[in-house]
Amino acid sequence: MKNYLRVLIFLIFIINYGCSRIELTDEQPAIPSSTFVDIDSDGNTDYVIEYFFANISSNINSDRGIIGYFRPEGENLVLHKQDKQILFLRDLGEIREKVDIPLFWNDSGYSESFISIQNRGEQWPIEWEPFHEREHNTYFLGLKLIDGNSTKIGWVELKIELETGIVSVLNKGIL
């Protein structure tokens, strides 16, 4: 009986500790403003960082969230890696015009979701969740800019403020 009680107390401690690691608030986070990104500095927007409020489930009063997207303009593309989150890239040397599996240029025409925050009942976490493989101070995306017959390969370095969801472009360039 004594061992059973110890195990029960231990399990209660573990469950309580595990659940308390995510800090929650009653305040719905603000939706950050869109950011327009000109990778090649030609005066034209190549990508847009934008956010949308979304119902994650069919119940309109729960499972709400805000999702941040990296949207290509025109025919531009974003580099992906099979079975990896979108914020996988650490080596700019992997960015090439023609890539082999597991890398691929996503040509689905959809925006790329890369960050979100989702309520838990009536409460919200205090931090946003980037779609990354590992936590870093900054994140990189490989980019393919397509304008008619012209193709440029580029990259962008992003800084994500976890408390606000605001994404800043720290650096960008053409390879």
The pLDDT value recorded for residue 59 is 58
Tell me the domain boundaries of the chain.
Answer: 26-174
User: Which DSSP state fits 10?
Assistant: H
The pLDDT value recorded for residue 2 is 47
Strand order across the 103-106 sheet: 103-106, 77-81, 139-147, 150-160, 167-174
pLDDT tens digits along 138-158: 999 999 999 989 999 999 999
Residue 45 to residue 78: CA distance in whole angstroms: 15
* Nearest alpha-carbon partner for 124 in 30, 32, 60: 30
pLDDT tens digits along 118-130: 987 788 999 999 9
Q: What's the whole-model pTM score? A: 0.82
Report, as ranges of residue numbers, the positions in the chain whose pLDDT lies below 50. Answer: 1-20
The pLDDT value recorded for residue 12 is 44
* Nearest alpha-carbon partner for 64 in 119, 24, 26, 115: 119
The pLDDT value recorded for residue 108 is 82
